[in-house]
Amino acid sequence: MKVNKVVVPRWFDRHLHLRTGKMLKTVLPCTLNQRATGAVIMGNIPYPNQTSTIAKALAYRKEITSLIPVDSDFNPRMTYYLTDDTSPEEVMRGYEEGVWCAAKLYMANQKGHGGTTGSQHGVKNLLGRYPVFAAMEREGIPLLGHFEAVEEDVDEFDREIVSLERDLIPLLKAFPELMVVFEHITDGRAADFVAQAPYQIRATVTAHHLMMNRNAMFWIGMNPANYCRPVPKREDHRLKVRKYVTGGNRRFGAGTDSAPHDEEAKSRCYGCAAGIFTAPAAVEMYTTVFDEDDALKHLGPFLSENFLCLYEMKVSNEMMTIERTCTFDFWVPQKVGTVQIFAGGRYFPWKLVD
Ligand code: DOR
Ligand code: ZN
């Protein structure tokens, strides 16, 4: 029987970029309108403000919370931005004081180039941070990892698998109890690993990586709107990741990696910014994916339940309702402010109504 309505607990975005200043004011309401109970906020804001000290994380949290309406219960869960200078004491102190719920690993190469926006100040020497990971394992502090090799000679489409084998597996062997989230997973081999590994490992998955493969970046000419990190992969990888997600594997959860850039930065011929903005319609996009796979029964756990305790969040007692729209009345708007929305102008057959 065709289901026309899905009611699930209000959801939680496990990976979100909100930026600062005017951009923050523009994009925050999008996630609030999507009825999220909160989100894991990435700290890769412009240098020197990235959330790599308690003071910086508190300042950023204050900027965000000052824009949350008083009648909203939206809970921004901050993250620590790991650097080569990170000490175990700082990570532990910020966690104990409730400043952040996890530490985010961005890697940079020896030339100081990172794998994505704002990651050039990240970790160059992973082994050098092992004392930090030991403390995190001991204290139960989750590590949220952007696992992509950043060396120039690694093929763009192999960055995730190279980092899995070279960085993550040795890390997990050294710290088998460390809680790790493999962020925005795209490679089918990495998804196999997450599904089967005898470790405390989970993965977030974006809506856009579930919906498109790498052709989308080149379709009818270069299309920077579909460029993000990690770059979308071959179709067989997308289908493998999607199989775990819509098959109801509890190690996979929704994390949009919604990453707004204004039009100017996205449409540069040289040095187009990496990032895809899905915040205004993320629930509708995920729901469409589950529906296409005849898997709506697994939507609620993926959006609203799986491994929320890692972020010290509980499954919400409040429900949200998503309805099938038979009247073609949910077209994703093209833009919010100066930011293009992923799939803008496209129709989705589901709409978050309450
Ligand atoms: O495409 C991306 N954009 N991937 C990331 O990991 C970061 C993000 C951003 O901050 O723009
Ligand atoms: Zn991100």
Which H or E run contains 33? helix 21-33
- Report how far residue 157's alpha carbon sits from residue 148's, in angstroms, rounded to the nearest whole number: 10
Q: Which residues contact 153 (CB under 8 A, 6 or more apart)?
A: none
Select from 13, 335, 4 the least CA-distant residue to 204. Answer: 13
Q: What is the DSSP code (8-state) at residue 3?
A: -
CATH code of the domain covering residue 271:
3.20.20.140
pTM of the model: 0.98
DSSP 179-200: -EEETT---HHHHHHHHH-SSS
Query: 3: CA distance to ligand 2 center in Å?
Result: 33
Instruction: Return the sign of the alpha-carbon dihedral for residues 338, 64, 99, 256.
Output: negative
* Count of beta carbons in the 10 Å neighbourhood of residue 285: 23
Active site residues: 257
Q: How far apart are CA 331 and CA 195, in angstroms?
A: 34
Residue 239, helix vs strand vs coil: helix
What's the CA gap between 230 and 148, in Å, rounded?
7
Cα gap 158→214, rounded to integer Å: 13
Query: Ligand 1 pocket test: which of 148, 229, 339 has the largest number of ligand atoms within 8 Å of its C-beta?
Result: 229
How many A from CA of 121 to the centre of ligand 1?
Answer: 14
Q: What count of Cα atoms within 13 Å lies in the side-chain half-sphere of residue 290?
A: 31
Q: Which atom of ligand 1 is nearest to the CA of 274?
A: 1
Structural domain of residue 183, as residue ranges?
5-352
Atom of ligand 1 at shortest range from CA of 260: 11
253 CA to middle of ligand 2, Å?
A: 14
Q: How far apart are CA 228 and CA 217, in angstroms?
A: 9
* DSSP labels, 209-226: HHH--GGGGTTTS--GGG
State how far the Cα of 54 lies from the Cα of 37, in Å rounded to an integer: 24
SS3 category, 182? strand
HSE-up of residue 75 (Cα within 13 Å, Cβ side): 17
Given this model, what pLDDT does residue 328 score?
Answer: 65
pLDDT tens track of the chain, all 354 residues? 789 999 999 999 999 999 999 999 999 999 999 999 999 999 999 999 999 999 999 999 999 999 999 999 999 999 999 999 999 999 999 999 999 999 999 999 888 788 788 899 999 999 999 999 999 999 999 999 999 999 999 999 999 999 999 999 999 999 999 999 999 999 999 999 999 999 999 999 999 999 999 999 998 899 999 999 999 999 999 999 999 999 999 999 999 999 999 999 998 988 899 999 999 999 999 999 999 999 999 999 999 999 999 999 999 999 999 999 977 678 999 999 999 999 999 999 999 999
Q: Is ligand 1 within 6 A of the CB of residue 18? A: no
Which of 222, 225, 313, 293 has its CA nearest to residue 262?
Answer: 225
What's the N-to-C CA distance of the chain in angstroms? 23
> Which ligand is closest to the CA of 115, given by its number?
1
Distance CA 219, CA 243 (A): 24
If one counts the domains in the chain, the total is 1
